[in-house]
Every structure is written in structure tokens, then in C-alpha cells.
Structure 1
Amino acid sequence: MKKWVVTLTMAAGIVGLAGCGGQNSDTVAKTSAGNVTKDELYEAMKGKAGEQALQQLVFEKVLSKEYKVSDKEVDKKMDELKEQLGPQFEMALAQSGFKDEDDFRESLKVNLLQEKAAVKDVKVSEKEVKEYYDNKQKELEVRHILVEDEKTAKDVKAKLDQGGDFAALAKEHSVDTAANEQGGSLGTITIDTPQMDQTFIKEAFKLKKDQISNPVQTQFGWHIIQVTNIKEKPKKDVKPFDEVKDDYAHELKVAKLDPETMQEALTKELKKADIKVNDKDLKETFDAMLNDKQDQGDNKKEEEKK
């Protein structure tokens, strides 16, 4: 799934912990050996997922004060994730500790709130949006040769420039063995294909049909890319630019987000909220987020002096 999508790491049971409260001794379960109270359940769950659960609850309260996420927005993102993960969706939830979709929706909503806080200061030009709009109307059939270093990539590109056969060179040099079985083909991609490296997509959409790129570096290595076909959407399926430009501008802003930007936006909102944790066992839950690196360094020096 895309980088801005919430990572499936929140522990199961957060909703249950939120309902415990820890403020009274109401009986949760009765046994012949004695009863289990809400206080006991709270303490037990706090030890297992307390900090994570508290963060989740505080994030939602703080962010919801200024930003709004509708059920329709959560449903849309949920549908996108299901489409991306296909039959692996339920397994991904289970492996990440979510008991069901409703449990996951809570984390997804918080992630969307955080996203809205982060994109607030991201800028995109109308030219960027128009280029994105134009590219949204295309589907590219692409193939590539993936190698581990720039020198090999340049050597392969030189052979291609001299008339070398792309499929044969892919089979000889490319480390993408799955694609090599199809002559280096990656099939069809769009400007917003999930899980596709953004640098790769950006370079591919600069190419004309049959054009071969110069070596392109991504997180996976060095690519030589060729666009073998370009399909345009039927005009009847294309909405006018003015009708969709706001939505596309938001998509572009989201695409520019990285984990650091997301964290900075969240930290900014948390600092404004003046958080105070009363439970002594959870006192340090937000310390790492709220204390600047400089502050942490100064505190460490002071402790060393003592």
C-alpha cells in the first residue's frame, strides 16, 4: 500500500482499553475464584498496549478538534486498500493485530486526520496539477531492465543504443527475474499505481512510445525503462479539469508526503494541545514526540552533570 496509508501496527484491543476507564471497580467478569474488575482489566491491558492505545485516543481527540474525516472518506480509503491487497487484506489485518475491520477503521481514521494536518502546508502549482490531470488519462505498458549499479546500467543502455534486443538484454542482465520471463515487462501502470516506486513512475511518464530512458535510480537499483504502448482513456470517461482539479491537487499533495513530514505535522498539533498525562505509568507516553532533539540533548547533558 502507499506510503501515506496507515501502517498496520496498532495493537488489537485499543477500543476495549478505551472503554475501561480505570476509574471505578465495576465487575467485568465473575468467577467462583473471584471477580475481575474494570480497574484490574485496565491495569492488565495498560501493561500490554497502554502507551499505544493512549496515543491512538489522544491523536484522534487532538486532530479531530481542527480536522474532520467523514465516514465516506474512511470507506473510500478502506475500499482502496482492499483493492490493493486483494485476498491478502484479511490476513494483513490479522497479522497486524486488528480483531476486525471496525478495529482497523479507528486507526485508518486517525491516519487520515494526520494526513489532513500534514498536507495543509504542502504547495502544488496549477501547472503540476494540470500535468497530473493529463497523465491520469493515460495507461502505459512498460518494461525494464533492473541492475544493481550505475556502471552496469550505462553499459546496458549503450548496448540498447547500438540496437541491442531489449528482451535479450533483460534476460542477460536484469535482476528482476519475474519480469525477465516476459521480456522485462511490468504490464500496465498508471500515474497512481499503488506500491510502484514514485521515481520510476515519474520517469516512465516522461517517455514517448518506444523511447528508452537513461539509467534511473530507485530504492531497488538502476533501471532502464521503455514504454511500449500508451493507451488514452476514451474522451467520454474524462471529466473536465475544473471539475476535478481540487481533488487532484489533494492527491498530489498527499503523494509528496513522507513519514518525517507526517510526524512533524502531528508533533505540531500535539504541542498545541498541551497534553498532560495523569497516570504515572504512562507519564512518558508522549515525551519522545514532544521533546525536540535539541531539548533531549540538553536534558541528557544535565543528567550527566548530576
Structure 2
Amino acid sequence: MAEQVLTRSRRLPGIGTLILLLFTIALAAVWLLPFAWTLLTSLKPESETTDVPLHWLPRDVTLDAYRSVLSTNDIWVWLFNSVFTASAVTFLVVLLSSTAAYGFARTGFRGRRVLFALVVAGILVPTEVVVVPLFQEMVFLGLVDTPWGVILPQVVLPAMVYILKIFFDGVPRELEEAALMDGASRWRIYWQIILPLSRPVLAAVAIFTFITTWNNFLWPFIVTADPGSMTLPVGLATVQGSYGVRYAEIMATVIIAGLPLLLVFVLFQRHIVRGVAHTGMAGR
């Protein structure tokens, strides 16, 4: 009898677990309700979006808003620009941040601590503070309204250098010492030892960078004026301005813009979790 009671008590969740579960459900609802409203509104005829009182479910489900959005604006150009920009920024961030982090973690060059302190300090600088000098620099270089004018200022991410440096500090130095004894160069050690061992954290950095770049509105909005150079978030702002109160079409554009990110997260969520665990960010 005692064993049955003990077994049952082990199976039943504790109060703390129930509270955590309810809190998680509440957070999920906070995110899902606006998404559900957006999706359902995009499936309504335009005349239903302003009905009073408001109703959740569309009386007549229609895809007219999606057809209108996909056929009457530059959304495919904006989508291509976003994919190209986010992919280029992600590649350059992973390459440059990993090389910089390896230099900070494994080499003893003069001024290393001062430079790393500046990198850490760069994490604290808001993007808005450097927007004006960055724009002046892009004007001087003739990169306004060009893809590289959107890409290059987003490549410098001190937070990613810091995360990768923390991970590289945990890689056993014995592996590098053995490779150095065999005659391997620093560059070869970086490519053939450090990077293969760092795949989880590199995947997490790449995914976070891709998502951040995809959602970035401020800098692409400032540096682009030609619709052919705009990314998707900036293009959506022009759609909203031109459509006015056409809520179904606005919601349709939001759904279209969010689908690639949702796909990326679904496909790579395992890498995100592993990367966070490897960097130790979960407990910070």
C-alpha cells in the first residue's frame, strides 16, 4: 500500500510544476491570440474587417487579400532582397565573428584584453546611436539604395563575438597543442578543428543572426528609398501606407512575411536549443 502511494506521488506533478505549466500556457496564449487574429482577418473579405461588433471567424473565407497582395506590389522583389540580405549577413557574421573570437580566445597578441573590452562595450551601444554616422558613411561610399549598403553595417555584431569567444574558451587546448606539434598552422587548426567542434553554437549564431536581420526595419528603412532595394519589413510599411485601412491585405502581407521565419524555426529549433545549451546562455 505504501509503495502504491509513493508511486502515485511520484507520478503526480508538484505544485511548482503546475504553476510553471500554467504560466507557459499563458505565455503561449499571449503569442498565439494575435497570430490567430491576424490569420483569420487575412481570410476575411475586406468588408468584414470593419464590422461592428468585431467577430473572430470569417463568415465567408476568401483568399482575395493574398491574391491582391501577390499580384499588385513588389512583394517578390522584397522577399528576394530579404533572403539575399539575411543570408549574406549571416554568412559574414559567422565568418568574421568566429575568426575574431578565435583570435581573442587562442592568441596572445598585444592589446587583446583592451580590444575585447571594447567589443564587450559595443554590446551596450544601442543601434540608434550610430545610425547617423553609418548613413553618412554609406553616402560617402555611394552605397545608399544598394544591397551592400543594407548588408555591411549589420555585419558587426559584438554579441556574437562574445558568445563564440566563451565557447572557444571551453574547447580543450590539448587538441590544438597536438595539432601544432604535428605542424598545423593556426588557420588550419581554426578550419579543421575549432569550427567542426563548434557546429552547434555556429548554427545557433547563424539562426539568430538570420532572424534578427530578416526582422530588421530601422536600418533598411533609412538606407533605401527605391522600392526595388527595399527588404520585406520596409516594403510592408509602404503597403500599409498605400492600402490605408485595407486590413485584410495588411494582415495577408504580415502572414506572408512571417512564413519564412516560421519555417526556419521549425526546421532548426533543435540547433537553437543545442546552441543555447552549449554557450551557457540558458542560465544567464
On whether the aligned pair clears a TM of 0.5, the verdict is no
Greater relative CO (CA pairs within 8 A, separation 6+): 2
Q: Report the TM-score, using the length of structure 2 for normalisation.
A: 0.24
Instruction: Pick the structure with more helix per residue.
Output: 2
Instruction: Pick the structure with more strand per residue.
Output: 1
